[in-house]
Amino acid sequence: MPPLITNIYTADPSAHVFEGKVYIYPSHDRETDIQFNDNGDQYDMADYHVFSTDSLDPAAPVTDHGVVLKTEDVPWVSKQLWAPDAAYKDGKYYLYFPARDKQGIFRIGVAVGDRPEGPFQADPEPIRGSYSIDPATFVDDDGQAYMYFGGLWGGQLQCYQRGNDVFDAEWQGPKEPSGQGVRALGPRVAKLTDDMRQFATEVQEIQILAPETGEPILADDHDRRFFEAAWMHKYNGKYYFSYSTGDTHYLAYAVGDSPYGPFTYGGRILEPVLGWTTHHSIVEFKGRWWLFHHDCELSNGIDHLRSVKVKEIFYDKDGKIVTEKPE
Ligand code: FUB
């Protein structure tokens, strides 16, 4: 399947339907001399573009709205504008983005605009109490917004084992708690304030449960444990939390009855693609469901030069996500 966007390298697509069109908020990958490492230093992105399309037909044009935010626009950022997301509420559009602050610690920022394609004006400080990477915002049917976030290794989630917002530099780099019976670190969630610019509640850890035991998935269950790339969508009244398993390169999902979980592991949405990372979003458009993701086929396998793709997904009669249309 060819990439959706070919004029620049793009990754980590967060897709939303705004004003009847699909808007895509991806990372903008760029060339670098930084060598591949497990800390992700080679993902050295410096700005964001926004894309939109009227149709997900493979032949339909995709508009690049150009640069909507860059490192120099955000006073607290030092480098690495990683996977963003966007949200709409009460007439405003919000662009959420993780980046390293001047101390090298990942925080999550917000920028506000009047249009889905920007421009966006960044708040001068990151969201208070934010940390790690990969923000995914979900606005529930009652209008309450939630932010899911977190990512291991270079994403620094393992640095917060002493409680929220206490950064432990000892755990920096490609390592995470392990050992027999050790629970996997969970993604995080917090409600957002009505103005969408701060956390309204304490950050909570989310539990992903193994269906066979009803217990939290363990840290050495690499095929199913959370690594990064959180996404939330709702289908038939159920909350679907989906994520990347990181070093095993799957996209997986888990289902729950509340935006806070717990979520019970449901299966895989995408098998490994070309490239180390895998990241995604799921959105309904014109009555069909779509998985946006990325791979490295366009760059012939260069890990930090990725391209956004899209494919249709389906639900079976039990609400399981399937990649082929059920009979
Ligand atoms: O694009 C940089 C990082 O790679 C993202 O934040 C992760 O989800 C992974 O895709």
- Ligand 1 pocket: which of 277, 278, 307, 309 to mutate (most atoms within 8 A of CB): 277
**Distance from the alpha carbon of residue 276 to the mean position of ligand 1, in angstroms:** 10
Query: Sorting pLDDT into bands at 50, 70 and 90, what band is 325?
Result: confident
Q: Does position 185 have pLDDT exceeding 90, yes or no?
A: yes
Q: Does position 32 have pLDDT exceeding 80, yes or no?
A: yes
- Domain harbouring 219, CATH code: 2.115.10.20
- Structure tokens belonging to residue 280: 């995604």
Q: Does position 1 have pLDDT exceeding 90, yes or no?
A: no
- Ligand 1 pocket: which of 134, 157, 281, 304 to mutate (most atoms within 8 A of CB): 134
Domain that holds residue 141: 10-322
* Residue 144 falls inside a structural domain: yes
* Residue 150 falls inside a structural domain: yes
The 3-state secondary structure of the chain, one letter per residue: CCCCCCCCEEEEEEEEEECCEEEEEEEEECCCCCCCCCCCCCCCCCEEEEEEECCCCCCCCCEEEEEEEEHHHCCCEEECCCCCEEEEECCEEEEEEEEEECCCCEEEEEEEECCCCCCCEECCCCCCCCCCCCCEEEECCCCCEEEEECCCHHHCHHHCCCCCCCCCHHHCCCCCCCCCCCECCCCEEEEECCCCCCECCCCEECCEECCCCCCECECCCCCCCCCEEEEEEEECCEEEEEEECHHHCCEEEEEECCCCCCEEEEEEEECCCCCCCCCEEEEEECCEEEEEEEECCCCCCCCCCCEEEEEEEEECCCCCEECCCCC
List pLDDT tens digits, range 41-60. 999 999 999 999 999 998 89
* 278 CA: nearest ligand 1 atom: 10
Query: Sorting pLDDT into bands at 50, 70 and 90, what band is 168?
Result: very high
Give the closest residue (by CA) to ligand 1 atom 8.
Answer: 229
Give the closest residue (by CA) to ligand 1 atom 5.
Answer: 83
Percent of the chain whose predicted confidence (pLDDT) is above 70: 100
pLDDT of residue 161: 84
* Residue 203 falls inside a structural domain: yes
What values do phi and psi take at 213, rounded to 5? -120, -20
* Residue 4 falls inside a structural domain: no
Q: Chain-wide mean pLDDT for the chain?
A: 96
Q: Does position 158 have pLDDT exceeding 80, yes or no?
A: yes
Give the closest residue (by CA) to ligand 1 atom 4.
Answer: 277
Q: Does position 324 have pLDDT exceeding 90, yes or no?
A: no
pLDDT of residue 163: 72
pLDDT of residue 151: 98
* Residue 86 falls inside a structural domain: yes
The residue among 1, 28, 25, 29 whose CA lies nearest residue 13 is 25
* Residue 212 bears catalytic tag: no
Q: Does position 305 have pLDDT exceeding 90, yes or no?
A: yes
pLDDT of residue 131: 98
* 29 CA: nearest ligand 1 atom: 1
What average pLDDT score do residues 231-243 get? Answer: 98
Distance CA 165, CA 75 (A): 20
Distance CA 95, CA 119 (A): 10
List pLDDT tens digits, range 119-156. 999 999 999 999 999 999 999 999 999 999 999 999 99
- Other Cβ atoms less than 10 A from the Cβ of 114: the count is 11
- Ligand 1 pocket: which of 153, 279, 281, 305 to mutate (most atoms within 8 A of CB): 279
Distance CA 45, CA 29 (A): 6
Distance CA 225, CA 251 (A): 11
Distance CA 143, CA 138 (A): 9
In the set 101, 117, 228, 295, the catalytic residue is: 228
**Distance from the alpha carbon of residue 142 to the mean position of ligand 1, in angstroms:** 30
**Distance from the alpha carbon of residue 278 to the mean position of ligand 1, in angstroms:** 8
pLDDT of residue 326: 80
Q: Does position 82 have pLDDT exceeding 90, yes or no?
A: yes
**Distance from the alpha carbon of residue 82 to the mean position of ligand 1, in angstroms:** 6
Q: Does position 194 have pLDDT exceeding 80, yes or no?
A: yes
* Residue 327 falls inside a structural domain: no
What average pLDDT score do residues 264-271 get? Answer: 98
* Residue 61 falls inside a structural domain: yes
* Residue 201 falls inside a structural domain: yes
* Residue 228 bears catalytic tag: yes
pLDDT of residue 63: 98
- The ligand 1 site (C-beta within 6 Å) comprises 11-12, 27, 40, 43, 82-83, 133-134, 151, 228-229, 277, 279
Q: Does position 165 have pLDDT exceeding 90, yes or no?
A: no
**Distance from the alpha carbon of residue 26 to the mean position of ligand 1, in angstroms:** 10
Q: Does position 236 have pLDDT exceeding 80, yes or no?
A: yes
**Distance from the alpha carbon of residue 313 to the mean position of ligand 1, in angstroms:** 22
Q: What is the number of structural domains in the chain?
A: 1
